[in-house]
């Protein structure tokens, strides 16, 4: 590792630790402590044991030992939450550096060549700003003129530059990123204080972290359990009075602390914060903790073919003229339909025709027909009245007013191209179909294995593509998706999501364009691309800073890991309470009821050593589990039944056995000390 990088890492780690310990003490204040009811009870118990010791209700050494152990338990629980928050603040600090002292060149209009220099904080919605090579983009916005390569390392951590261009689905830019080449005019989409970076900072600092439904439900359960055990413990002195047993208040507090679920109570906030941090580490901004958790429950994934399953850079690889049409005639027609086509496919058609020896010249007084996702056709109307079009098979047949049944050769050519997993584009001049262009795309490496992992988790994958059914079927089979929708229009995504939700499924999808916004908003998890339009980013509940559509697969795994971690640690916490009962209960009643000694299965040295051993274990288990809470339980694809079985075996059985061993070992160490 680079020594300077190691030094910076160590320095950051030291800062995190220092800030975390500072917040540990702040969280002892009543207004902070009450936010975690379980640990608030432990904190109150600490004060009660101290007062009882001072009033002479117990041996001073024993009383102070219990007080100190309880106080350390509270500190450890506070530390678990504080260290998670400190990591978030560290990430926020690095994000703030990306926007310090930014200035902007504000334009009065797109034709303004001078502009005025102002502070970035003075920018308003819809202001126009010009950014040149070497300058930082002062605010979030969309490019409305020009294109540029941009370094987004300040936000994404990725040093490789990206291309952003006006009029495409990759027109969005973020304040604080740097323009490397060319110059662009950007329309501001967020005022100071409401920018993408501002929201990221608020989220990672935890100030906007909303508890998830599962976290709220578990919190209520823990509170109910705590209240129930308080009632039980408060009733023991009355029961002891009838049995002529005087119960020490310090022992009652110790019993209560061991009865209530302190382990998961201390770790629960850290688990929630860590889930958000893991998402951010994967360069995914979740707008709420709920979004991360819901991702773990998703059972249907809706994926675009282009850019998600395939690399998305489809290239023209061959021309197939029909009988009676020369190759040159087909290529010339294809060139004319693609001259004004800004898509990679259109540009590749012109490039391939050039390679094959065709001359390219733009006709005069021609009207270009831009490609539309709804019509799936593009072309040109020449000044002499000829109309030339290229597009999907059904769109061209409709344009030419013809039926496929009357074109056996066309059908064969289309099927031939589609069977290879390529996309056939049909070219027509007026009412005559000239031939087929083959567009080839490549399945992303490892995508089939990822879909297999999702299938193991019980998640259905649905590929959405505008390709014809034959091409869609070939690619779906090669990629290993469970289902596909061919010849899909933008509104078909929304219909598909609603249909799956009506069946009771939770649906996730990826999108980057304005036409994806309704579907992103409708989906239970909408992952918007950072490079996409502002409408898409506003509609989704997650934003991928890397603009990698396959990131949705990682998001699902992060969500599942969040649920598994909380479930595993809850199981462990409740299971290890069992052993603490066997340590505390005999110590409480054995003096008056000798038969209770039969419960002392661990053969602990004395009542005092049993109580202290249980409390010491209760305290040290929290910091020992902090790394698991922050890192998450290791995720492996499995069904719900398999996960439950594994959790019960490892964290359930292990949670019962480990404390028996640990408490006995602690007792062996402290019993001689108490005997002095």
Q: Which residues are catalytic?
A: 304
Which residues lie across from 463 on neighbouring strands? Answer: 303, 484
- Report the distance separating Cα 36 and Cα 281, nearest Å: 27
- Report the distance separating Cα 148 and Cα 155, nearest Å: 17
Contact between 443 and 475 under an 8 Å Cβ cutoff? The reply is yes
Please, what sign has the CA dihedral across residues 109, 114, 118, 121?
A: positive
DSSP code for 150: E
Expressed in angstroms, the distance from the first to the final Cα of the chain is 52
Contact between 462 and 481 under an 8 Å Cβ cutoff? The reply is yes
Q: Are strands 432-440 and 128-132 parallel, antiparallel or unpaired?
A: unpaired
The response to whether 512 counts as a known ligand-binding position is yes
Which residues lie across from 147 on neighbouring strands? Answer: 165
Runs of H (alpha helix) within 480-603: 490-502, 517-522, 534-539, 551-589
**337 alpha carbon, distance to own chain's centre:** 41
The tally of CA atoms less than 13 A away on the side-chain side of residue 171 is 22
- Report the distance separating Cα 595 and Cα 467, nearest Å: 79
Q: Are strands 507-511 and 525-529 parallel, antiparallel or unpaired?
A: parallel
Residue that is written with structure tokens 């054995």 in the block:
590
**Residue partners of 73: CB distance under 8 A and separation at least 6:** 42, 257, 262, 266, 615, 618, 619, 622
The response to whether 384 counts as a known ligand-binding position is no
Q: What is the CA radius of gyration of the chain?
A: 33
The tally of CA atoms less than 13 A away on the side-chain side of residue 68 is 7
Closest to 40 measured CA to CA, from 30, 50, 49, 48? 30
**Residue partners of 48: CB distance under 8 A and separation at least 6:** 249, 253
Backbone angles phi, psi at 272, to 5 degrees: -65, -45
The response to whether 333 counts as a known ligand-binding position is no
Coil, strand or helix at 322: coil
- Report the distance separating Cα 584 and Cα 590, nearest Å: 10
The response to whether 376 counts as a known ligand-binding position is yes
The response to whether 582 counts as a known ligand-binding position is no
Residue that is written with structure tokens 């398999």 in the block:
642
Contact between 283 and 545 under an 8 Å Cβ cutoff? The reply is yes
Runs of H (alpha helix) within 243-314: 249-259, 262-281, 289-295
The response to whether 377 counts as a known ligand-binding position is yes
The response to whether 207 counts as a known ligand-binding position is no
DSSP secondary structure string for all residues of 327-361: HHHHHHHHHHHHTT--SHHHHHHHHHHHHTT----
The response to whether 516 counts as a known ligand-binding position is yes
- Report the distance separating Cα 109 and Cα 203, nearest Å: 35
Residue that is written with structure tokens 């709420």 in the block:
288
The response to whether 371 counts as a known ligand-binding position is yes
The response to whether 607 counts as a known ligand-binding position is no
The response to whether 135 counts as a known ligand-binding position is no
Coil, strand or helix at 144: strand
The response to whether 374 counts as a known ligand-binding position is yes
Contact between 613 and 661 under an 8 Å Cβ cutoff? The reply is no
Residue 340 CA: distances (Å) to CA of 334, 347, 390: 11, 9, 12
The response to whether 375 counts as a known ligand-binding position is yes
**Residue partners of 478: CB distance under 8 A and separation at least 6:** 421, 443, 448
Number of Cβ atoms within 10 Å of the Cβ of 181: 13
Coil, strand or helix at 69: helix
Closest to 296 measured CA to CA, from 314, 312, 315, 275? 275
- Binding-site residues for ATP: 341, 345, 371-378, 390
- Binding-site residues for Mg(2+): 512, 516
- Binding-site residues: 341, 345, 371-378, 390, 512, 516
């Amino acid at each position: 590792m680079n020594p300077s990088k190691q030094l910076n890492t160590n320095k950051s780690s030291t800062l995190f630790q220092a800030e975390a310990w500072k917040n540990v003490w702040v969280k002892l204040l009543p207004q902070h402590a009450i936010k975690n009811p379980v640990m608030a009870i432990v904190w109150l118990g600490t004060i009660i044991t101290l007062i009882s010791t001072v009033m002479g209700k117990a041996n001073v050494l024993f009383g102070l030992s219990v007080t100190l152990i309880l106080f350390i338990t509270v500190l450890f629980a506070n530390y678990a939450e504080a260290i998670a928050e400190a990591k978030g603040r560290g990430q926020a600090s690095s994000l703030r550096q990306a926007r310090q002292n930014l200035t902007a060149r504000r334009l009065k209009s797109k034709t303004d060549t001078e502009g005025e220099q102002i502070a970035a904080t003075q920018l308003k919605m819809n202001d126009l700003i010009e950014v040149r090579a070497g300058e930082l983009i002062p605010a979030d916005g969309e490019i409305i003129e020009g294109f540029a390569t941009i370094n987004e390392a300040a936000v994404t951590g990725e040093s490789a530059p990206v291309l952003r261009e006006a009029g495409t689905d990759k027109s969005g830019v973020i304040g604080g990123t740097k323009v490397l080449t060319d110059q662009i005019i950007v329309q501001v989409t967020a005022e100071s204080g409401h920018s993408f970076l501002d929201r990221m900072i608020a989220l990672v600092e935890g100030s906007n972290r909303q508890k998830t439904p599962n976290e709220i439900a578990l919190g209520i359960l823990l509170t109910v359990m705590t209240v129930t055990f308080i009632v039980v413990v408060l009733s023991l002195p009355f029961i002891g009075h009838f049995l002529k047993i005087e119960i020490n208040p310090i022992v009652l507090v110790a019993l209560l602390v061991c009865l209530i679920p302190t382990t998961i109570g201390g770790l629960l906030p850290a688990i929630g914060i860590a889930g958000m941090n893991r998402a951010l580490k994967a360069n995914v901004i979740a707008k709420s903790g709920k979004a991360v958790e819901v991702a773990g429950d998703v059972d249907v994934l809706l994926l675009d073919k282009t850019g998600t399953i395939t690399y998305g850079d489809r290239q023209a690889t061959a021309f197939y003229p029909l009988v009676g049409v020369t190759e040159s005639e087909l290529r010339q027609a294809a060139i004319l339909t693609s001259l004004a086509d800004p898509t990679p496919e259109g540009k590749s058609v012109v490039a391939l025709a050039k390679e094959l020896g065709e001359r390219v010249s733009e006709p005069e007084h021609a009207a270009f027909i831009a490609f539309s996702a709804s019509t799936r056709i593009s072309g040109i109307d020449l000044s002499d009245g000829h109309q030339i079009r290229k597009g999907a098979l059904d769109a061209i047949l409709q344009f030419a007013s013809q039926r496929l049944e009357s074109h056996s050769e066309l059908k064969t050519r289309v099927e031939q191209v589609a069977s290879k997993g390529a996309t056939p584009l049909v070219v027509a001049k007026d009412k005559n179909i000239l031939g087929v262009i083959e567009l080839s795309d490549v399945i992303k490496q490892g995508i089939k294995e990822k879909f297999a992992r999702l299938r193991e988790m019980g998640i259905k994958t649905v590929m959405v593509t505008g390709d014809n059914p034959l091409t869609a079927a070939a690619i779906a089979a090669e990629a290993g998706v469970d289902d596909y929708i061919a010849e899909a229009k933008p509104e078909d995504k929304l219909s598909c999501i609603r249909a799956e939700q009506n069946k009771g499924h939770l649906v996730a999808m990826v999108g980057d364009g304005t036409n994806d916004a309704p579907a992103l908003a409708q989906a239970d998890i909408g992952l918007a691309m950072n490079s996409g339009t502002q409408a898409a980013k506003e509609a989704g509940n997650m934003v991928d800073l890397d603009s990698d559509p396959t990131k949705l697969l990682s998001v699902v795994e992060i969500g599942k890991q969040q649920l598994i971690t909380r479930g595993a640690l809850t199981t462990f916490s409740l299971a290890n309470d069992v052993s603490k009962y066997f340590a505390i209960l005999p110590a409480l009643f054995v003096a008056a009821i000798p038969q209770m000694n039969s419960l002392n299965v661990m053969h602990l040295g004395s009542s005092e050593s049993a109580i202290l051993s249980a409390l010491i274990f209760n305290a040290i288990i929290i910091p020992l589990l902090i790394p698991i809470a922050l890192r998450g339980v290791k995720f492996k694809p499995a069904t719900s039944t398999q996960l439950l079985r594994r959790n019960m075996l490892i964290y359930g059985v292990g949670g019962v056995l480990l404390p028996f061993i640990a408490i006995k070992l602690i007792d062996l160490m402290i019993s001689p000390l108490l005997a002095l």
